[in-house]
Amino acid sequence: MLRSSLRRGLPYLQLWLLTACGAAQPREAAPASGWPAYGGDPGGSRYSPLAQIHRGNVATLAPAWTYRTGDATHDDGAEGPQEGCGRCHSEPSKFETTPILAGGRLYLSTPLNRVIALDPASGRELWRHDPHIDVEQERAEGFISRGVAYWDGGAGGTCGSRIFFGTVDARLIALDAARGGACRDFGDSGTVRLDRGVGEVQAGQYGMTSPPAVIGDVVVVGSSIGDNRRVELERGIVRGFDARSGRQRWSFDPVPRDPSDPEYRSWDSTAARITGGGNAWAPLSVDAELGLVFVPTGSAAPDFFGGLRPGDNRYANSVVALEAATGTVRWHFQVVHHDLWDYDVASQPSLVTVPRGGEQVPAVAVATKMGHLFLLDRRTGTPLFPVEERPVPASDVPGERAAATQPFPLRPAPLHPSGLVRDSVWGMDDGERDACLALFDQMRSGPIFTPPSVQGTIMYPGFAGGMNWGGVAWDRERDLIITNYMRLPMWVRLRRRAPGEEPDNHEGTPYEMTRAMMASPRGLPCSAPPWGMIAAVSLRTGDLVWQRPLGRIPSLTDAPASAQWGSPNLGGPIVTAGGVVFIAAGMESELHALDVETGRELWHATLPAGGNATPMTYEVNGRQYVVIAAGGHGRLGSAFGDYVVAYAVER
Burial (CB count <10 Å: 0-12, 13-18, 19+), residue 218: buried
SS3 letters across 592-608 = EEEECCCCCEEEEEECC
**Torsion angle in degrees (nearest 10) through CA of 226, 229, 234, 240:** 30
To the nearest 5 percent, what fractions of the chain are helix, strand and coil? 5, 35, 60
Write the DSSP assignment of 90-150 as a string of letters: SS-EE-----EEETTEEEEE-TT--EEEE-TTT--EEEEE-----TTS--TT-EE----EE
Cis-peptide, bond into residue 63, ω within 30° of zero: no
Q: What does the alpha-carbon distance between residue 161 and residue 462 come to, in Å, rounded to a whole number?
A: 42
Instruction: Identify the H or E element spanning 441.
Output: helix 430-442
User: Which residues make Cβ contacts (< 8 Å) with residue 363, sequence separation at least 6?
Assistant: 351, 352, 353, 354, 375, 376, 377, 378, 384, 539
Task: Check if 342 is active-site.
Answer: yes
Could you tell me if 316 and 254 are in contact, meaning their C-beta atoms sit under 8 angstroms apart?
yes
Please tell me which residue in 342, 344, 377, 642 is annotated as part of the active site.
342
Q: What does the alpha-carbon distance between residue 104 and residue 30 come to, in Å, rounded to a whole number?
A: 19
Beta strands in 373-486 (DSSP E): 373-377, 387-391, 405-409, 457-459, 472-475, 480-486
User: Which residues make Cβ contacts (< 8 Å) with residue 557, sequence separation at least 6?
Assistant: none
Active-site positions read: 342
